[in-house]
Structure 1
Amino acid sequence: MEVLVTGASGFIGGSTCAELLGRGHAVAALVRRTGSEPAGTRAVAGDLTDAPALAAALAGGRPDAVVHLAAEIGSQRNAAKLNEVNVEGTRRLLQACGEAGAPRFVFVSTSVKGDPRGAQIDEDSPGPVETAYGKSKAVGEELVAGSGLEYSIIRPGHVYGPAGWYVTELIGQLRKPGRFGVIGNGENWWDVVHVDDVASAIADAVEKAPNGGVYHVVDDEPISQRDFIALTAESLGMGAPRRTPVALAKLMIGGDPTAVVTRSARNSNARIKRELAWEPRYPTAREGVPAAVAEL
């Protein structure tokens, strides 16, 4: 089938395109400028902020499925920008898909909820949405569910790998003098997952997810913030990371990024394993982190 991927040139998008191509699918990459599309994909010009361009992109060749990965992540303090891209951009894309008759929509959200007590939760568990980014994605999920399109929703946890935030932010901070590492006591749970496993989950959703399916995509074993960062430092051949008080972290990087790091989330992957027969290539961070670091 032909799959249109938004955010194709991003961290998760590149791995997703490679996974889809490896399974024999044709991939069209929605990009703001041609030349930035992943190898092997067909570039389609378009922008989530430009409704006519999206309509033209979809009308130019109706895909069998659309994977919506593009999102604003870096503007945690800019609520207007988060809303424009993550909410209104999703609304525009859904409208364009509906008008073009695109038959299948896979929305890549995030593990929007956690549990401050550290309890394991599933896709239907109640709980607060603790970050501005998570709130924008939760609204996006509501738009998708109410769109009338056949859809599925993927909720990755903390996605790590040989690129993206893991390299530019976490490893970048660890390598700086003074090493801004663990925030707070570091005992909060992280639901982590390797980028290649997210890509395989997205491809599984494209191929066989039932209409309305919602899936956490995390590895088999949650890990504390402290242990994940320590494992990364060890894989880099570095010593134990420093700890930074929460109050100081809020002053240095802002309240919302600090909340992302210190929130506790232990999401279950039982549903996607049961319904889509998904299995992570890296079952835990103990396998995935050294593999990611080895690719740097």
Structure 2
Amino acid sequence: GATIDETAPLLAGTCRGLLRVQTEAQWLQSGLPVHVFRVGGIYGPGRGVIAQIQQGVARRIVDLPDKVFNRVHVDDIVNILLQSVALPNPGSIYNVVDDEPATGFDVVTYACGLMQVPPPSPISWADAEATMSAMGKSFFEETKRVSNAKVKAELGVAFLYPTYREGLAAQLAQEADDDILPASTSPHAAQPPLTSRRRGRTHVCFVVNRGALKTEPFLDLRAVCANLTRRFDGCVQFVPVSCSLSDQIPQSQLHGEPAQLFDAALAAVTSAAAMGPLDLVILPLFIGNSGAITEFIPTTIDAAQRTRSAHNVPALRYSMGRCLVDISKPSDNRVARILAHKVHALCTKHQDAVGGVRVLVVDHGTANKEVHLSRDLIGSQLAKLLGNTVDAVETASMEGLGKDFNEPLLATAFDQYEMHSGLVIVALLFLSSDQHTGAGGDIDGIVQRVKASHPNLDVAVTSPLGSHPILTDMLTDRYFEAIKDW
């Protein structure tokens, strides 16, 4: 459509756009000396179309010639903010965009020419849409031709990079100076590990699970890493690794890409970065503070440190994020919120059930008391979240492992809690499917036996946590907590 300036009505066509409009209005009505900056598509070192090309995820969608939008280089954003600080005008609204809106097709083509690499083959919108997230699709729902005349006239800004052409060329030059290594074109490549380099330091972030012989846990782990990589716009690469077992899964069951174990992946990246400083972030995908977090991972890193020291190589710097359910942070109820969403969905599906609704939070069982306390914390948080929408929330484990605190086990919990009628929702505190879950699994067998003994009882089972979006939020927070002192 037509080019718009800051006075044009805000007609957002996406949920995200509506939230931005509401947020902007609330701040402008706050009585504070607010300045509003409406920023276009941000690009610069480590992000934007060049990073997408390096990662092999750039697209040239051939049948969207009218879908254009403005971009802006990060250096120009900083310039505009500094000019606004020097010339404050509370209540002002500024469009922070370059001079030339363009299609994604044209920008990708131009960037590939600068990088001297073949451009990706043109694809249709139908083919591209099938592989996009909901957020990714939303960027193509609107056309935005935006004027930057106000920042030039009122703030006297002269753009360093008036269009994407100058900006992309400058980005390539700056990345060459900063020695940012392009990432592998495969987000799960085993060799070499995905890293980035800034000012001579190699940066790696491993997302670690316990590991299993079944495919689902590692595929879920990959999905979590892919979600995080998208959240960070590719600026940080998140590498999926397991503590054990996953390397025995046939590649054919993992889309041709082998699973990596933490010790092997660490050895590979340590070797690749042998001559320089290494920054390592560990994000454990564990419910509680298990031995993998307190013993296995630190011990493995210590061994790598000793090897580097023996070869007079700078020590690696590492930081580890917290487990998902940290009993020292009881106000963080996000895992319980995932379970609450799943419970509410099953309540709706079984809304005709007679006799009330009760919830049974079930974990695997553990020999670690602190991990067990994480399960109990989830039970308390879930009871508070569900409130009077259910009659009770109880807890149970699949295995006792010789520890009384795991009692009752699921096999006896229905009798112990006198759950013999109505609807019982088994809320799985499982990260992924395993031998206990699904048709024919241990849980299914227990449920069938209990229902056969109690004809007035209905039982529904939630799916595991999987790669729920709330996990992406949590791990994003864990990442920034881990590096806050670097």
Normalised by the size of structure 1, how large is the TM-score? 0.54
Q: Describe the shift of the 1:130–1:209 C-alpha distance in structure 2 as closer, same or farther (beyond 3 A).
A: farther
1:162·1:292 contact (CA, 8 Å) conserved in 2? yes
Q: 1:125 offset after TM fit, Å?
A: 1.1
Q: CA RMSD in A?
A: 2.2
Aligned position for 1:250: 129
Aligned position for 2:163: 284
1:150·1:211 contact (CA, 8 Å) conserved in 2? yes
Query: For 1:206-221, what aligned pairs fall within 5 Å after superposition?
Result: 206-221=85-100
Q: 1:245 offset after TM fit, Å?
A: 2.5
Q: 1:258 offset after TM fit, Å?
A: 1.8
What secondary structure sits across from 2:105 in the alignment? helix
**Are residues 1:150 and 2:150 paired?**
no
Q: Deviations over 1:245-295 (max 9, x none)?
A: 223333211243123145311100011111111111111112111111222
**Are residues 1:271 and 2:150 paired?**
yes
Q: Deviations over 1:96-133 (max 9, x none)?
A: xxxxxxxxxxxxxxxxxxxxxx3101112125313333
Aligned position for 1:114: none
Aligned position for 2:104: 225
Aligned position for 2:60: 181
Distance 1:146 1:226 in 2: 39
- Which of 1 and 2 has higher RCO (CA within 8 Å, sep 6+)? 1
2:69·2:145 contact (CA, 8 Å) conserved in 1? yes
Distance 2:134 2:124 in 1: 13
What secondary structure sits across from 2:79 in the alignment? helix
What secondary structure sits across from 1:295 in the alignment? helix
Query: For 1:105-184, what aligned pairs fall within 5 Å after superposition?
Result: 118-168=1-51, 170-173=52-55, 175=56, 180-182=59-61, 184=63
Distance 1:137 1:164 in 2: 22
2:71·2:164 contact (CA, 8 Å) conserved in 1? yes
Aligned position for 2:358: none
What secondary structure sits across from 1:268 in the alignment? coil
Aligned position for 1:35: none
Distance 2:6 2:81 in 1: 16
Q: 1:172 offset after TM fit, Å?
A: 4.0
Return the letter of the residue paired with 2:6: E
Q: 1:191 offset after TM fit, Å?
A: 0.5
Distance 1:257 1:186 in 2: 18
Distance 1:225 1:209 in 2: 34
What secondary structure sits across from 2:99 in the alignment? coil
Return the letter of the residue paired with 1:213: S
Query: For 1:74-113, what aligned pairs fall within 5 Å after superposition?
Result: none
Q: 1:164 offset after TM fit, Å?
A: 2.9
**Does 139-148 or 158-167 show the bigger shift?**
158-167
Q: 1:237 offset after TM fit, Å?
A: 0.9
What secondary structure sits across from 2:117 in the alignment? coil
2:107·2:164 contact (CA, 8 Å) conserved in 1? yes
Return the letter of the residue paired with 2:90: N
**Does 182-191 or 263-272 show the bigger shift?**
182-191
What secondary structure sits across from 2:72 in the alignment? strand
Normalised by the size of structure 2, how large is the TM-score? 0.34
Q: 1:154 offset after TM fit, Å?
A: 0.6
Q: 1:196 offset after TM fit, Å?
A: 0.3
Query: For 1:30-45, what aligned pairs fall within 5 Å after superposition?
Result: none
2:62·2:123 contact (CA, 8 Å) conserved in 1? yes
Distance 1:197 1:147 in 2: 28
Q: 1:210 offset after TM fit, Å?
A: 0.8
Distance 2:4 2:43 in 1: 21
Aligned position for 2:367: none
1:186·1:262 contact (CA, 8 Å) conserved in 2? no
Distance 2:115 2:140 in 1: 20
In structure 2, runs of 5+ residues without a counterpart are 176-486
Return the letter of the residue paired with 1:124: T
Distance 1:146 1:270 in 2: 25
Q: Describe the shift of the 1:242–1:119 C-alpha distance in structure 2 as closer, same or farther (beyond 3 A).
A: farther
What secondary structure sits across from 1:215 in the alignment? strand
Q: 1:192 offset after TM fit, Å?
A: 1.1
**Does 250-259 or 207-216 show the bigger shift?**
250-259
Q: 1:236 offset after TM fit, Å?
A: 1.4
Q: 1:186 offset after TM fit, Å?
A: 4.1
Q: Describe the shift of the 1:181–1:229 C-alpha distance in structure 2 as closer, same or farther (beyond 3 A).
A: same
What secondary structure sits across from 1:206 in the alignment? helix
Which protein shows a greater Rg? Answer: 2
1:204·1:276 contact (CA, 8 Å) conserved in 2? yes
Give the count of matched residue pairs: 175
